[in-house]
Structure 1
Amino acid sequence: MSKALVLGASGATGRLLVKLLLDKGVQVIALVRNAGSLANIIDSNGQLDIVEAEISTIPDQELAKLLAGCTSVFSCLGHNISFKGIYGHPRRLVTDAVAKVARAVELVQTDHPIKMVLMNTTGNSNRDIPEKPPFSQRLVVALLRLILPPHVDNEQAADFLRVQIGQDNHKLEWVVVRPDGLIDEEQVSDYKIYASPIRNPIFDAGKTSRVNVADFMSELVLDSDLWEKWKGKMPVIYNI
């Protein structure tokens, strides 16, 4: 049976991901600040283990213990939409979490690389390939880097995987999932995956339901062909 660690499990997308993983027969360790945030998750098979801890303070050795036996780790971490959440600390919440996972993975004895799926944004370009956003988008993104720390955090988190982990790491493999404008829907619907954005995420954003993001993230680690197709890449997901 597959076993996954989910960071940011109490968030809007993280909760959906936990539910979908459980529905698909995956054993889940959910790392949350407050166990009550997942009180309504139905765990009919006893496959959900809720751990109360903050990723920013948990020691690497403790995180490694949680990762032991896991085949995958998901990050749905994000900054709260409030003044404190945007401009307060930790400003590198996602980046520091990704780096901590990478350090913890080095402490885990495993015969196969652990798969990491990072939820990100179409506002972040994949600098491994020749993506050429229009000037209007590049201008706005440059301004966002100056005034919105969470955007910089998203960019740096993806860059850590691209540059520090790279394509040939024998302990950690990764995919960075980039949804466009997030919306709430109850059920998984049809969606399409692209290597790069097909719309301007600033002035002509598409729509991506959170439940579709969660479904694609879960399928990445359950479908070996899908993983091989997108491993080391930053796929973009849109609702159809």
Structure 2
Amino acid sequence: MTILVVGATGATGQLVVKQLLDCGEEVRVIVRFPEKLSETTLSHKNISVITVTNILQLSEREMREYVKDCDAVISCLGHNLTFKGIFGPPFTLVTDVTKLICHAIKENKPQRTMKYILMNSTGNSNKNLRETVSLVEKFVLGIIRLLVPPQRDNEKAAEYLRSEIGQDNQDIEWIAVRPDSLINVNEVTKYSIFPSPIRSAIFNPGKTSRMNVAHFMSELISKKKLWEKWKGQMPVIYNDDPEEGGGNT
């Protein structure tokens, strides 16, 4: 398969690309700074690197070419964890790129349904499941949503997939993967997947390694039964290690 990855130079995106290449997939990346990718990745026979100044300045025609012949798209886009990255433009990076790619896919009228995986967070609720959140947590999340643009952006991107693409789209099937507090671990460890959070994202957060997120996304692409189980949903992923604040509590 050929998978387009955006956000490929980020901490999680680089791991996703490596996982896919290790599985023998053809990987196409759209990046601003290709030098942030490892030499091993850049020299891999299955990698195709598209360098752009600003992904949001791509036309729909250009994006149609980039998604053409792809089987799936994985978005690991996020806002840089700097003052400018969090509070400065572009305020709706993830949402706008999600819309741009999905529009391009639909305009291409693909012969087979394409998969779209969005990296999201446990701070965003799946409205299809009416997930329960305490009043205090709702209040805190409301403040974060008001003051921190990336939170609104993550919510809008997932909501676009949930309400606009929906469950019965003939061109696109989607999954929004929700890790909890992200940590760096050098290898894949045991992890668990749940339909909804089993911990409070604000008052009792769990931990999820970026490596495990990358592994789960790669598995979703390669394993048909796993994709069928979670398509159109927003699965939550936690590390199993309770010492790391994992899912087994």
Q: Distance in 2 between matches of 1:237 and 1:77?
A: 18
Are 2:101 and 1:104 aligned? Answer: no
The DSSP-based 3-state class of the residue aligned with 1:133 is coil
In the other structure, the counterpart of 1:52 is 51
Q: Distance in 1 between matches of 2:137 and 2:25?
A: 39
5 Å-filtered alignment, 1:9-88, equals: 9-42=8-41, 45-53=44-52, 54-88=54-88
Task: Please report how far the alpha carbon of residue 55 of structure 1 lies from its aligned counterpart in structure 2 after TM superposition.
Answer: 1.9
In the other structure, the counterpart of 2:4 is 5
In the superposition, the TM-score normalised over structure 2's length comes to 0.93
Task: Please report how far the alpha carbon of residue 61 of structure 1 lies from its aligned counterpart in structure 2 after TM superposition.
Answer: 1.1
5 Å-filtered alignment, 1:97-136, equals: 97-136=97-136
The DSSP-based 3-state class of the residue aligned with 2:3 is strand
Shift >4 Å, 4+ stretches: none
CA contact (8 A) 1:12 1:210 kept: yes
Q: Distance in 1 between matches of 2:5 and 2:39?
A: 17
- The root-mean-square deviation of aligned C-alpha atoms, in Å, is 1.1
Equivalent pairs: percent with the same residue? 46
Q: Give the letter for the 2:51 counterpart.
A: E
In the superposition, the TM-score normalised over structure 1's length comes to 0.97
In the other structure, the counterpart of 2:230 is 230
Task: Please report how far the alpha carbon of residue 45 of structure 1 lies from its aligned counterpart in structure 2 after TM superposition.
Answer: 5.0
In the other structure, the counterpart of 1:186 is 186
Task: Please report how far the alpha carbon of residue 41 of structure 1 lies from its aligned counterpart in structure 2 after TM superposition.
Answer: 3.5
The DSSP-based 3-state class of the residue aligned with 2:176 is strand
Cα 1:184–1:67 shift into 2, 3 Å: same
* Count of residues in correspondence between the two structures: 239
Q: Distance in 1 between matches of 2:69 and 2:188?
A: 29
The DSSP-based 3-state class of the residue aligned with 1:185 is coil
Q: Distance in 2 between matches of 1:43 and 1:11?
A: 15
